[in-house]
Structure 1
């Protein structure tokens, strides 16, 4: 199947104005800004520059990117910059992938309390990992973790969960040795799940009691403390989904995985199939099916597609990638230096696969941001033109 040239921006440009008018008062300012940014990304509205190749002399017009973190076109460069900064953090140990998922009932109220409950999901997933790892019955070490928030399922439904990338071991309590986990096994997921469930429900009650949770629509009655406790009761008896995948095949596999996950948005342009009279068609994965039958096509009306896409707009200033324990920003350098000393190794940063150094040995080209698509020579900026206006929500009509 050939790659579609259809983009999320095309759907927003064609159907967004009428839908925004019909949804006036129901969309947040942040959602409106995301729509506007995606519509204008890499268009004349944001300005740009004219490039000229030093080799073949070809000219090229390059429009500026919106750099919005929800834009499908702006994430590859951002992901590469982030990965280049993470190269030196890799340790020569097995790395594990752990996923913490909120039950559907909690996900419903999380959408109405994004900042509070997404933040709680981050902090409690990290707390549970570090608590169980510190227990001498399991590992008895201080570990580190990088957590990445995803709020979507493959069909663009609201499905908040965090992906944790965790080195297979940690520093001993006295900080003098490295404690490795058993080969191929990190921590017992059932123990992680039970503690995660207990701690999350405890913190939910605390947030409710302090008045930090808001409820709307069909959940409005949950504002009452007694009704909220009764609503939580069944959630104490069901299993919460926490699972750990097999270890990655070396540190480079970890980086390859992170390059796909850290800056992912709800749907990439490559998954879009068609925009026609039937609606928007896209590929999705049905995890309940097996084998090739997992991969299916879904068609939604443009209005429903835009609604689902905007479900996943994060609160302004909310960090979707966070580091904990040994990898926490304030102590990462010291902790990793100690870990490498115990592992008797040194960091060996290598250029990222998408960096200029990885594709060219010409020092002039390596320093250049723009490469000619025809001959591979460096391109220089010969003219710039300003953007028309700052990205903002569309004005009321």
Structure 2
């Protein structure tokens, strides 16, 4: 069992006793999932060695997207899919962040506000892509990933986007390239982002709940040229399915406190923070997403419903570069196979033992 699961096992009962009545149902589900993950209570999968006949019994994972033990495989799968969809040409990573004055409001209205953050930031990019001074295309394509945490587990909602440097002009079907080191003006993006987010909150009838200071300061938008998309995708991949903190950052648990490692922004020096266990659990759980909320979203020609295929987009980009654009070649990675701990031969799947509570109850007697 991982370090964070051990923390939950030791301190979650007390946390539930203190705060269970006021806890969102999503938080209770995450606690239950983490406590049962890879335990006998969660069922098991049985494999048998093809050579020596030895049976291997592995406890099942919970599969919850907020469980630190369950995300590594999903991250690898997502990365492989994105690398297959990579486009040639230069790319940018754009990050949209809200002022600190908005954090309490967003945390209290997560489903509404997270959707509004995606809608406002994506609309800002689409609007400015139309401007011929920057790109001049009406069909950009990009994907974004919502993060809600900072390095000390504090609440810090922001969205990272990976954006190919250009857009399609549907008027003539051509690829309109942006500059290699400049995509869109961040001050203009900030203003549009703020205005469109405010429109969403006003439409929901909640504008009076937002501190006025939030609208009086610039909203932070960062744009960074990242060259080929491979670097930015590999950077984002661990964050797509990563939870607020992973096991390797936990230093120790002692005297009811959790000590964990972190680094300040733009610093490589490792620091240690100590939090009361109840506060650690509170900070961890505040990053649980609303049920069913999609934290990764695709837009424009990268959307699954796009009218233009990725092959068409790739061809248009190559034409715009005069075919003088490096192509990334995927290196096939062999999939890890399960082997017998006795003789080292391959094992094959036999069956799953589901936990008793998941079997339909039959007639009594």
Task: Provide the TM-score with structure 2 as the length reference.
Answer: 0.88
Residue of structure 1 equivalent to 2:129: 133
Selected match of 2:183 from 183, 186, 189 = 186
Q: Structure 1 stretch 322-331 or stretch 183-192: which is displaced more? A: 183-192
Q: Post-superposition shift, 1:377? A: 4.1
Residue of structure 2 equivalent to 1:318: 293
Query: Are 1:100 and 2:79 an aligned pair?
Result: no
Number of positions where the alignment pairs a residue of Structure 1 with one of Structure 2: 352
Residue of structure 1 equivalent to 2:348: 380
Selected match of 1:340 from 290, 314, 323 = 314
Residue of structure 1 equivalent to 2:361: none
In 2: Cα distance, 1:138 partner to 1:27 partner: 47
Q: Post-superposition shift, 1:253? A: 2.2
Residue of structure 2 equivalent to 1:292: 268
Q: Post-superposition shift, 1:55? A: 5.6
Residue of structure 1 equivalent to 2:47: 51
> Is the CA contact (8 Å cut-off) linking 2:88 and 2:328 kept in structure 1?
no
In 1: Cα distance, 2:231 partner to 2:106 partner: 32
Q: Structure 1 stretch 374-383 or stretch 274-283: which is displaced more? A: 374-383
In 2: Cα distance, 1:66 partner to 1:53 partner: 25
Q: Post-superposition shift, 1:326? A: 1.4
> Is the CA contact (8 Å cut-off) linking 2:257 and 2:275 kept in structure 1?
yes
Q: Post-superposition shift, 1:260? A: 1.4
In 2: Cα distance, 1:28 partner to 1:307 partner: 12
Query: Are 1:274 and 2:270 an aligned pair?
Result: no
Residue of structure 2 equivalent to 1:151: 148
In 1: Cα distance, 2:226 partner to 2:46 partner: 46
Residue of structure 1 equivalent to 2:303: 328
> Is the CA contact (8 Å cut-off) linking 1:46 and 1:389 kept in structure 2?
no
Residues 307 and 114 from structure 1, CA distance in 2 versus in 1: closer, same or farther, beyond 3 angstroms? same
Residues 338 and 112 from structure 1, CA distance in 2 versus in 1: closer, same or farther, beyond 3 angstroms? same
In 2: Cα distance, 1:34 partner to 1:44 partner: 18
Residue of structure 2 equivalent to 1:119: 115
> Is the CA contact (8 Å cut-off) linking 2:166 and 2:178 kept in structure 1?
yes
Structure 1 residues 108-134: Cα deviation after superposition (integer angstroms, max 9, x where no partner) = 101111000000001111111111111
Selected match of 1:254 from 228, 232, 243 = 232
Q: Post-superposition shift, 1:381? A: 3.1
3-state DSSP class of the match of 2:289? coil
Residues 326 and 241 from structure 1, CA distance in 2 versus in 1: closer, same or farther, beyond 3 angstroms? same
